[in-house]
């Protein structure tokens, strides 16, 4: 073990109530909104091939021209309650909202820079109505904050000269001031989702970032901060030089999912996912592979089955309206969640071998197991392997608990649950209970000898 001052200060899952609640969210919403939504991935009729929220970095646009988009920010169709209602009907339990993306434009009236909504035609705070609307909808708010800030004169990609160092010191104080300002203005926020922390300039600030994280935790006890905020003194990010996760949950799952439980190293984690292949901010061209509700539901099931949460991204238009394709996806996912969310909320890794038909989840603190089916076996028999001495009982379709499904033990601790569901067009859930004393329930039929 290396002696670290600025590595992880805790190992394993946080045991407190705030983190237990976070662990049980299952499904979340990401909102990427800012000036980049105005061009929407297009400029002077030419389409930008990268991610729309990165259009400022495109050679085709002078930086000052992009920065003057502030004078066009007037989202007349912005309706915080409508956004929260969309998330509510979709079944999201938390929302991560961009307060400031890499371009440095602040959606709140920060007093530490002029580059905010206060100096746009809109003038008003965007974050406050969003926090209030989502709080009222019972959806917890996490504030996304990009450390990298292309607008701030003190930002540097690396510290090479004394001048860089002096400029970056000012930038560090600016960053600290804005974070304290956000937690003070929006005290109900449950966490901070940091981004833009990979450049050398910030990676070299192990001590400063560690002290700042501890200051923020003292200011807002229970606040949730992931592994993307800071590096240890050897520049190690997410996992410190001893391989221990820095922060409260792993934040590396951006547009990708773990395959097996070993991939998550016993940590909390969430996966943040775009609907197109790689567009977070609004992009007019809704092109390439656009994930269907079925795919997004499967990613949610897979995430929860591996002990994480799934966060689906929305990129509202420059006028403040959510695009119709995203509203449609939210509706389809919401319709599925209305029937099946019991298998998602407050569920965890079931410690059972994955089977071809889909994913297992387990209700936290109970012996209820859910089988989320995405691939129906032609013979209608769903294989389940249990640890030795564990019994199985009461298998039923989640949507029809009165239907007692036949359970056949085909060999030691291995069962077929029979369910013929030929009309299924949507993923469905079978549920059963386990108990540790196998002898106690012999309601399954012994294999015919």
Ligand X SMILES: C[C@@H]1N[C@@H](c2nc3ccccc3[nH]2)[C@H](O)[C@@H]1O
Nearest residue to the partner ligand X, using Cβ: 280
Q: Whole-angstrom Cα distance, residue 418 to residue 103?
A: 55
53 binds ligand X (CB under 6 A): yes
Q: How far is the CB of 145 from ligand X (least distance, A)?
A: 11
Q: Which CB, 32 or 56, lies closer to ligand X? A: 32
Q: Which of residues 4-43 bind ligand X (CB under 6 A)?
A: 32
Least Cβ distance, residue 98 to ligand X (angstroms): 7
Shortest Å, Cβ 144 to ligand X: 7
H helix intervals, 68-191: 80-90, 127-136, 162-185
* Longest alpha-carbon distance in the chain: 83
Q: Smallest distance from the beta carbon of 243 to ligand X, in angstroms?
A: 23
Q: How near is the Cβ of 32 to ligand X at its closest, in Å?
A: 6
Q: Which is nearer to ligand X, 31 or 398 (CB)?
A: 31
Q: Alpha-carbon torsion 438, 442, 448, 449, what sign?
A: positive
In the complex with ligand X, the residue whose CB is nearer, 135 or 254, is: 254
Specify the residue, 51 or 182, whose C-beta has the smaller distance to ligand X: 51
**Least gap, CB of 372 to ligand X (angstroms):** 26
Phi first, then psi, for residue 124 (nearest 5°) are -85, 155
Contact 320, 40 (CB under 8 A): no
Instruction: Indicate whether 132 belongs to the interface with ligand X (CB under 6 A).
Output: no
Is 195 or 298 the residue whose CB approaches ligand X more closely? 195
195, 200, 202, 208: CA torsion to nearest 10: 140
Angle at 68 between CA 67 and CA 70, to 5 degrees: 90
Site map 324..353 versus ligand X, x via CB under 6 A: ------------------------------
Residue with tokens 């959806």: 139
Compare residues 87 and 272 and give the one whose CB is closer to ligand X: 272
Q: Is 195 in the site for ligand X (CB under 6 A)?
A: yes
Distances (CA, A) of 188 to 18, 127, 141, 332: 12, 12, 8, 30
Q: Which residue has the tokens 């099946």?
A: 340
**Complex with ligand X: residue 148 or 297, whichever CB lies closer:** 148
Q: Is 372 exposed, middle or buried (0-12, 13-18, 19+ CB in 10 A)?
A: buried
Work out how close the CB of 197 gets to ligand X at its nearest, in angstroms, rounded to a whole number: 10
Site for ligand X in 61-80 (CB under 6 A): none
Residues of span 237-296 touching ligand X by CB under 6 A? 254, 272, 280
For ligand X (CB under 6 A), the number of binding residues is 7
d(CA 11, CA 175): 27
The C-alpha atoms of residue 410 and residue 341 are separated, in whole angstroms, by 30
Residue whose C-alpha is closest to residue 317's, from 31, 125, 9, 10? 31
**Rounded least distance, CB 52 to ligand X, Å:** 9
Contacts of ligand X in 147-186 (CB under 6 A): none
Inter-CA distances, 280 with 48, 50, 54, 108, 255, Å: 14, 10, 9, 20, 10
Supply the minimum distance, in Å, between the C-beta of residue 198 and ligand X. Answer: 7
Whether the Cβ atoms of residue 190 and residue 97 lie closer than 8 Å to each other: no
3-state secondary structure of 198: coil
Q: Return the number of the residue (32 or 362) whose C-beta is nearest ligand X.
A: 32
Radius of gyration of the chain (CA): 24
Binding positions for ligand X, 372-391, rule CB under 6 A: none
Among 51, 206, 244, 407, binds ligand X (CB under 6 A): 51
> What is the C-alpha separation between 316 and 68, in angstroms, rounded?
20
Q: For residues 194 and 444, which CB has a smaller minimum distance to ligand X in the complex?
A: 194
- Quote the least distance from Cβ 345 to ligand X, whole Å: 24
The number of residues in the chain equals 449
Q: Which is nearer to ligand X, 149 or 195 (CB)?
A: 195
Residue with tokens 């746009």: 120
List interacting residues with ligand X (CB under 6 A).
Answer: 32, 51, 53, 195, 254, 272, 280
């Amino acid at each position: 073990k290396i002696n670290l001052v600025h590595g992880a200060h805790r190992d394993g899952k946080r045991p407190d109530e705030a983190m237990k609640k976070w662990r049980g969210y299952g499904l979340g919403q990401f909102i990427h909104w800012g000036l980049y939504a105005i061009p929407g991935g297009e400029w002077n009729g030419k389409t930008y091939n990268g991610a729309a929220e990165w259009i400022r970095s495109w050679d085709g646009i002078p930086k000052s021209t992009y920065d003057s988009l502030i004078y066009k920010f007037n989202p007349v169709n912005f309706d915080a309650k409508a956004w929260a209602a969309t998330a509510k009907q979709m079944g999201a339990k938390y929302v991560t909202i961009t307060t400031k993306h890499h371009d440095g434009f602040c959606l709140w009236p920060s007093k530490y820079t002029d580059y905010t909504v206060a100096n746009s035609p809109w003038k008003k705070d965007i974050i406050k109505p969003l926090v209030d609307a989502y709080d009222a909808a019972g959806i917890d708010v996490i504030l996304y904050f990009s450390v990298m800030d292309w607008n701030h004169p003190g930002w540097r990609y690396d510290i090479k000269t004394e001048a860089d160092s002096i400029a970056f010191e000012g930038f560090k104080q600016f960053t600290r001031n804005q974070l304290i300002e956000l937690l003070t203005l929006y005290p109900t926020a449950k966490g901070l989702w940091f981004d833009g922390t990979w450049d050398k300039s910030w990676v070299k600030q192990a001590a400063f970032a560690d002290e700042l994280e501890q200051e923020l935790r003292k200011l807002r006890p229970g606040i949730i901060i992931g592994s993307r905020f800071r590096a240890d003194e050897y520049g190690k990010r997410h996992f410190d030089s001893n391989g221990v996760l820095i922060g409260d949950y792993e934040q590396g799952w951006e547009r990708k999912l773990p395959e097996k439980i070993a991939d998550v190293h016993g940590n909390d984690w969430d996966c943040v996912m775009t609907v197109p292949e790689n567009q977070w901010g609004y992009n007019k061209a809704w092109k390439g592979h656009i994930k269907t509700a079925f795919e997004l539901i499967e990613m949610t099931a897979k995430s929860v089955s591996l002990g994480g949460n799934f966060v689906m991204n929305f990129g509202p238009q420059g006028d403040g309206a959510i695009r119709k394709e995203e509203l449609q996806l939210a509706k389809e996912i919401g319709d599925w969640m209305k029937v099946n969310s019991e298998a998602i909320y407050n569920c965890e890794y079931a410690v059972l071998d994955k089977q071809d038909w889909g994913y297992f989840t387990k209700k936290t603190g109970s012996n209820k197991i859910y089988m989320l089916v995405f691939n129906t076996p032609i013979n209608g028999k769903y294989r389940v392997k249990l640890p030795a001495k564990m019994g199985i009982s009461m298998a039923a379709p989640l949507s029809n608990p009165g239907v007692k499904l036949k359970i056949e033990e085909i060999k030691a601790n291995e069962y077929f649950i029979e369910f013929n569901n030929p009309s299924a067009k949507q993923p469905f859930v079978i549920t059963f209970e386990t108990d540790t004393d196998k002898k106690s329930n012999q309601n399954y039929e012994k294999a015919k000898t």
